[in-house]
Amino acid sequence: MRIPRQQQIRKVMIVEDELDILHLYKDFLRSRGFSVIACSIIADEVLIDYERYMPDLVIVDYKLPGKKNGLQAVREILSEHALAPILLITAFESVKKEVSEDEFFRDKRIQILIKPVKLSRLADIILGINNQYSTKSTTLQS
């Protein structure tokens, strides 16, 4: 699936500890015309990286080594940048419920994608986030 040229998401930051998955996402996104401006295998300095690169979208895996998991990293970014579009990827269905029940995330631009991830689904979600940009929506999407 080709993502339309009028996309607003151009710069992407990826936090993923599995290098093969990280490279797969990076290659896929670059082939679709995105600039992957930052990648990390841990989330310990996620806010510093976010503020340094100011990506249009952050893709974060839930289970990460280091001091923070993906949800903690997302919360840290959104605490300072409430409208940052986030795609949280997890193998745990319970994370979707945890986010939907947490008042903090109610007005945030966060999507949750359950593994295994199909690249076509990733493209659909990015397209949906682009549509949110164009409609200025800030609601939780599941």
pTM: 0.87
Given this model, what pLDDT does residue 133 score? 63
* Higher-pLDDT residue of 3, 53: 53
pLDDT tens-digit map of 71-130? 999 999 999 999 999 999 999 999 999 999 999 999 999 999 999 999 999 999 988 888
Sheet holding 86-90, edge to edge: 35-40, 11-15, 57-61, 86-90, 110-114
Of the candidates 32, 80, 29, the residue with the CA atom closest to the CA atom of residue 59: 29
pLDDT band (50, 70, 90) for residue 1: very low
Burial group, residue 44, by CB count within 10 angstroms (0-12, 13-18, 19+): middle
The residues near 52 (Cβ < 8 Å, ≥ 6 apart) are: 38
128 membership: H or E segment, kind and range = helix 119-135
pLDDT above 90 covers a percentage of the chain that reads 80
d(CA 63, CA 128): 24
What type of residue is 78? L
Q: State the average pLDDT for the chain.
A: 89
Q: Per-residue pLDDT for 6 more than 50?
A: no
